[in-house]
Structures are given as structure tokens and as C-alpha cells.
């Protein structure tokens, strides 16, 4: 039975939803962590160039495929390139979204736990001990993971307009306000000068370090939710006459601003308290709570505001990941949105339980890594870049140049030849390097 496909209620609803997907945990803590290890402003310069020269072309191709096919990530390639191997890209996107959400829900649950902790008195004692005892327990992290997944399922179950679009319209403004307020406050703590120098004064010697390029290109690629079927799926809910260029530009600009402002939240506070910015996940759950404890009077308020920010960022990405899988199941099985969302949401929750337990409760390792770390590496180092590479090659080599420009609304545009060059050569080569480097490091 063919059902009429849902569409976005407005252009800005689509932009906010796609932006919500791009703005996630990676913007709030991973960007700052990667920037801390990558030489500060050196990393930022390479990241910005990567977003423009690589991220923009790949995003345009994903949007174009989705808008033209008007179906889910897997069926899009079956429809546009029947009986070909290109469908692998769609399958990898759906699988990646499934896997990422399974452990993303665990970390999202942690953020809800910390909101509750700050609302009921804050993180007491040693922050590292508090974190390790919490994630190392058996049942409590799973309970918070279940709550996070329940909220995600409830939003996606409401549909594209009533659920995803409506939630994005209120979540993104709240996210923006919280981020700007926290950045403004962080700049008053005494580390603003060092932070601004670190973020915006280039260390030219760092440009000779190849790892900075890998980190910056990888961050640009992954923060934009490319290669996981999200932008393709969201593009499929666009009407055929919707323009893509300005929408993609808005999403990339706003996502980048979020990342930079998040850096203005983290780095001034770290320098003010003389702490190390290269702490990974600990930056959020161990180092920043230490800072909040040191803020007299309003530490609890700042703490709860930050973790609300983190939870909303996780949720905005979580609903986009779930929608990729739900869209496929609705079409493939012919079931209702409610049944597809409830069923696959619960399965993803169950798959995420080993990730939660592997953080200390039970020793669950794959190739020497805790289960959560393995799932992260498998999706990030293999599925995403490989899926993104196939999408980029399909759009630039399966379609003729005139077709690509027509499908991306760039036919007759002055800078179309430059777009073709970067989409056809620079982006695939850069993604291939990220793929090889990721697999070697794994």
C-alpha cells in the first residue's frame, strides 16, 4: 500500500531540523576536544576550509538525491540507479544511523542524569569518582538511557511536521540562547585572553602536522551528519521545487557558529581554572563539573544550564538518526509510523545496553576496545566515510556534470565549475584519506 509521503511544513522548519541533526554532542564537546589537540586556531582554519570545500558539496549531493527520489536512503538508490551496487551507500547510512543511536542514547542518558544531579544539589565530591561510579553501575545508566530513547521515540512517532519539525523549532532557539549566555558568562571568568589567542591566533608550525588535517577534515565531515543517510532522508521530505543551495549554506554556517561559540564556552573556563582542554568525554562529565563547583553562588545554575544544552543537542541528533531507520522500515515493511518507531526504538535501546554496561559494570570488549568504543570506531572510522565516499562518487560520476548541476540547482551559476571540481575530485579524495587513516588508527 502506497502512502502519501510526508513533507516539511516550511523551509525554515527543514533548515532547523537539519541543523538540529548537525548540532550534536560533537559540537558541544568533541569540537573543543579536537581543537585542543589540533593546535587551536590551526585546527579551526583547516576545519572551516574543509566545511566549505568538502562538506558543502557532499551535503548538496545528499539533499539532491533525497529530493529527487522522494524516498528513504536505501530505496533512493534503488529508484535512481536500479540493479546497481550504489544501493550499498544507502544501506550503510541506515546501518550507521542504527549503530550510532545505540551508543548515542547511552551518552544522552548521561546528560539527563547530570541535569537531575544539578537540580538536586550538584555533583558532590570528586567529579571523576562521581562519573566513573555512575557509568560503572549496572542499572542506573540503563534507566537514563531508556528515558532518553523514550523521549526520542515519542518525538519521531509524531511525524515529520508535528514531531521532528515542531521540536526543532523550539529546541534550536533554546540551544542558541543557552549557548550564547554560557559563552558570555565563560568570557568573564578570567581566561578570555588566553582562550581567544588559542582559538584565533594561528600557530603556523602546527600546519606541518598531518594529524591536524585528518582531525579537522574528519570533524567537518562528521559534524555535518554526512554519510549516515540523515541529509538524504531529510532531503526526501522536501518538495521537488525547493531550492537547495541557500538551505545547505544556512545549515553549514549555523552549525559552524555553534561549534565556535561552544569553544567560547569551554576554553575561557578551562584557561581560567588552568585545566587541560584535551580530555575527550571527560571534558564534559569530569572537567567542566569541576569548574562549576568552583563558581561561587551560581555554579549549580550554570551546571544545569550546560547539561540542558548538552541534552538538547543530543536529542536533536538522536531524532534525526532514528528517523533514518524509521523511514526505511515504513516503506520496506508497510507498517505505520507508530509501530515502526516503537519497535525499532526498543531494539536500538537493547543494542545500546552492552555499550552502557561496557563502561565499567561488565567487561564487554571487541578487538580490545570496550563495546561502546568499538561501536563508535566501527561507525565513525568505517561506515560513515565509506558511505559518504560512495554517495559523493555516485553524484559526481554516475550523474553527468549537467545532471549534477541541475539536481543541485547550480546550473548557470557562476561558481558551478568550482563546485564540480571540489565535488568530483577534492571531496572524494579527502574522504578516502579519512577512511584509510581511520582504519589504520583503528
The cell numbers describing 11, all together, are: 523551509
Rounded Cα distance, 439 and 173, in Å = 38
What per-residue confidence (pLDDT) applies to 25? 75
Sorting pLDDT into bands at 50, 70 and 90, what band is 3? low
Share of the chain above pLDDT 90, in %: 52
Statement: residue 188 has pLDDT above 80: yes
Rounded Cα distance, 244 and 261, in Å = 26
Taking residues 260-284, report their average pLDDT: 80
Structural Rg of the chain based on CA atoms: 21
Q: What is the pLDDT of residues 124-143, one digit of tens each?
A: 778 889 999 999 999 999 99
What per-residue confidence (pLDDT) applies to 281? 58
Q: Which DSSP category does 413 fall into?
A: -
Rounded Cα distance, 263 and 273, in Å = 15
**Mean pLDDT, the chain, integer:** 89
Statement: residue 248 has pLDDT above 60: yes
Q: Are 52 and 218 in contact (CB under 8 A)?
A: no
Taking residues 290-298, report their average pLDDT: 79
Statement: residue 330 has pLDDT above 70: yes
Taking residues 103-112, report their average pLDDT: 95
What per-residue confidence (pLDDT) applies to 279? 63
Rounded Cα distance, 57 and 64, in Å = 11
Rounded Cα distance, 195 and 172, in Å = 26
Statement: residue 2 has pLDDT above 60: no
Sorting pLDDT into bands at 50, 70 and 90, what band is 424? very high
What per-residue confidence (pLDDT) applies to 354? 97
Statement: residue 392 has pLDDT above 80: yes
Statement: residue 278 has pLDDT above 70: no
Rounded Cα distance, 324 and 270, in Å = 37
Residue bearing the bigger pLDDT, 94 or 283? 94
Taking residues 216-238, report their average pLDDT: 86
Of the listed ranges 28-32, 96-100, 355-359, 367-371, the one predicted with least confidence: 28-32
What per-residue confidence (pLDDT) applies to 130? 92
Sorting pLDDT into bands at 50, 70 and 90, what band is 442? low
Residue bearing the bigger pLDDT, 86 or 220? 86
What per-residue confidence (pLDDT) applies to 353? 97
Residue bearing the bigger pLDDT, 105 or 381? 105
Rounded Cα distance, 401 and 240, in Å = 20
**What stretches of 31-165 show up as alpha helix (H) in DSSP?**
31-37, 41-50, 56-69, 73-80, 87-119, 127-136, 140-157
What per-residue confidence (pLDDT) applies to 1? 41
Sorting pLDDT into bands at 50, 70 and 90, what band is 151? very high
Domains, the chain, with CATH or none = 11-441 (1.20.1740)
Rounded Cα distance, 271 and 367, in Å = 37
Rounded Cα distance, 436 and 45, in Å = 23
Rounded Cα distance, 60 and 246, in Å = 10
Amino acid at each position: 500500500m502506497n502512502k502519501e509521503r510526508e513533507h516539511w511544513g516550511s523551509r525554515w522548519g527543514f533548515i532547523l531540523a537539519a541543523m538540529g541533526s548537525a548540532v550534536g554532542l560533537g559540537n558541544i564537546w568533541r569540537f573543543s576536544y579536537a581543537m585542543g589537540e589540533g593546535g587551536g586556531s590551526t585546527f579551526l582554519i583547516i576545519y572551516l576550509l574543509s566545511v566549505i570545500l568538502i562538506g558543502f558539496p557532499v551535503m548538496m549531493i545528499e539533499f539532491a538525491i533525497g529530493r529527487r527520489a522522494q524516498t528513504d536512503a536505501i530505496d533512493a538508490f534503488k529508484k535512481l540507479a536500479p540493479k546497481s551496487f550504489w544501493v550499498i551507500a544507502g544501506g550503510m547510512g541506515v546501518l550507521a544511523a542504527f549503530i550510532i543511536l545505540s551508543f548515542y542514547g547511552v551518552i544522552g542518558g548521561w546528560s539527563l542524569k547530570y541535569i537531575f544531579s544539578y537540580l538536586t544539589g550538584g555533583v558532590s565530591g570528586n567529579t571523576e569518582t562521581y562519573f566513573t561510579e555512575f557509568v560503572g553501575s549496572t542499572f542506573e545508566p540503563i534507566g537514563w538511557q531508556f528515558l532518553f530513547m523514550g523521549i526520542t521515540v515519542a518525538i519521531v512517532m509524531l511525524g515529520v511536521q508535528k514531531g521532528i519539525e515542531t521540536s526543532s523549532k523550539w529546541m534550536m532557539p533554546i540551544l542558541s540562547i543557552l549557548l550564547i549566555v554560557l559563552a558570555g558568562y565563560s568570557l568573564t571568568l578570567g581566561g578570555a585572553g588566553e582562550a581567544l589567542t588559542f582559538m584565533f591566533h594561528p600557530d603556523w608550525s602546527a600546519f606541518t602536522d598531518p594529524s591536524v588535517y585528518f582531525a579537522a577534515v574528519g570533524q567537518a565531515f562528521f559534524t555535518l551528519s554526512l554519510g549516515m543517510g540523515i541529509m538524504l532522508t531529510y532531503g526526501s521530505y522536501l518538495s521537488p521545487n525547493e531550492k537547495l543551495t541557500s538551505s545547505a549554506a544556512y545549515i553549514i554556517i549555523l552549525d559552524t557558529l555553534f561549534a565556535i561559540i561552544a569553544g567560547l564556552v569551554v576554553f575561557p573556563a578551562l584557561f581560567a581554572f588552568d585545566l587541560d582542554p584535551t580530555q575527550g568525554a571527560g571534558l564534559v562529565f569530569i572537567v567542566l563539573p569541576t569548574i562549576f563547583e568552583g563558581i561561587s553562588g551560581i555554579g549549580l545554575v550554570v551546571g544545569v544550564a550546560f547539561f540542558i544544552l548538552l541534552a538538547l543537542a543530543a536529542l536533536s541528533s538522536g531524532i534525526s538518526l532514528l528517523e533514518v531507520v524509521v523511514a526505511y522500515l515504513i516503506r520496506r515493511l508497510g507498517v505505520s509510523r507508530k509501530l515502526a518507531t516503537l519497535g525499532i526504538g526498543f531494539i536500538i535501546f537493547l543494542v545500546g545496553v552492552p555499550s552502557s554496561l561496557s563502561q565499567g559494570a561488565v567487561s564487554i570488549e571487541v578487538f580490545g576496545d570496550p563495546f561502546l568504543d568499538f561501536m563508535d570506531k566501527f561507525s565513525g572510522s568505517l561506515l560513515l566515510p565509506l558511505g559518504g565516499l560512495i554517495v559523493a562518487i555516485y553524484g559526481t560520476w554516475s550523474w553527468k556534470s549537467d545532471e549534477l548541476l541541475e539536481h543541485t540547482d547550480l546550473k548557470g551559476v557562476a561558481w558551478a565549475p568550482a563546485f564540480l571540481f571540489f565535488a568530483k575530485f577534492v571531496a572524494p579524495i579527502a574522504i578516502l584519506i579519512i577512511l584509510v587513516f581511520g582504519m589504520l588508527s583503528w
